[in-house]
Amino acid sequence: MTKDPRRARRPSEALRRDIQQAMIDELVEHGYGEVSIEGVAARAGAAKTSVYRYWATKEELVIDALANALPLPDRGPSTGSVRGDFAVMMSLMAQSLGGLAGQVLLTVAAERRRHPEVAEAVMERVVRPRQRLMLEALDRAVARGEIPAEAARALPVQVAGSLLLQHFMHTGTPPGPDEIDDYLDRAVMPVLNRK
């Protein structure tokens, strides 16, 4: 009988990455409700005890795997214009939606009613930090005199994110540069410039 080469002793960081990737793959393939730690461990070529060494619960692993798969930039872009900053951030979010992590994010969002604690934790670790970067872009625009102070609020950030998600849910693909430009010009910027 041959040993699974993934079961050989791996450095702890490599093992953690393999387990996180296995969780992402399992979530995409089976959905949150059907994922088990046993399945994740088997897919990662790890012992179940190895999984529990790093994460006490399935929920903790899901949140950590998703946060790891969608790393947050140290700071938001500073293009010199609020439209430019939002275009960059919306493009990055669209790219994320197009990958496995985006599929997982939508899977977890769909489970919000059955598993509100997981959805809330994902909001806290993945979504809200990105929203804060967009709010910081609005604050910079206020400081430049580009938009009025009352425009630096959550609504334009929610509009931008919602349009990306709606596009993805309706088409199954992330919006491209032309759609992002259209969303900015016809929805986000009018909200920012509304008097």
How far is it, in rounded angstroms, from Cα 151 to Cα 11? 49
Read out DSSP for 40-66?
HHHHHT--HHHHHHH-SSHHHHHHHHH
Considering the chain, what is the average pLDDT of its residues?
89
How far is residue 128 from each of residues 23, 121, 171, 173, measured CA to CA in Å?
Answer: 22, 10, 25, 23
Whether residue 114 sits in one domain with residue 53: no
Whether residue 95 sits in one domain with residue 150: yes
DSSP state of 5: G
- CATH number of the CATH domain containing 82: 1.10.357.10
pTM score:
0.82
Whether residue 97 sits in one domain with residue 41: no
Whether residue 76 sits in one domain with residue 40: no
How far is it, in rounded angstroms, from Cα 91 to Cα 79? 14
* 181 within domain boundaries: yes
Whether residue 137 sits in one domain with residue 184: yes
Whether residue 167 sits in one domain with residue 116: yes
Q: What is the pLDDT of residue 4?
A: 57
Read out DSSP for 116-178?
HHHHHHHIIIIIHHHHHHHHHHHHHHHHHTSS-GGG-SHHHHHHHHHHHHHHHHHHSS---HH
- CATH number of the CATH domain containing 36: 1.10.10.60
Whether residue 75 sits in one domain with residue 52: no
Quick check: 157 and 184 in contact, CB under 8 A?
A: no
83: which 2 tokens? 């439209």
How far is it, in rounded angstroms, from Cα 18 to Cα 24? 10
How far is it, in rounded angstroms, from Cα 188 to Cα 55? 39
**Averaged pLDDT for residues 55-72:** 89
**Averaged pLDDT for residues 90-101:** 88
Q: What is the pLDDT of residue 8?
A: 57
* 127 within domain boundaries: yes
Whether residue 97 sits in one domain with residue 174: yes
Count the domains in the chain.
2
* pLDDT surpasses 50 at 1: no
Whether residue 83 sits in one domain with residue 45: no
Residues of the domain holding 40? 5-57
Whether residue 163 sits in one domain with residue 184: yes
The model's pLDDT over 119-176, given as tens digits with 9 standing for 90+, comes to 888 888 888 999 999 999 999 999 999 999 999 999 999 999 999 989 998 998 999 9
* pLDDT surpasses 80 at 195: no
Stronger pLDDT, 152 or 5, i.e. the higher one: 152
Whether residue 82 sits in one domain with residue 10: no
Q: What is the pLDDT of residue 47?
A: 94
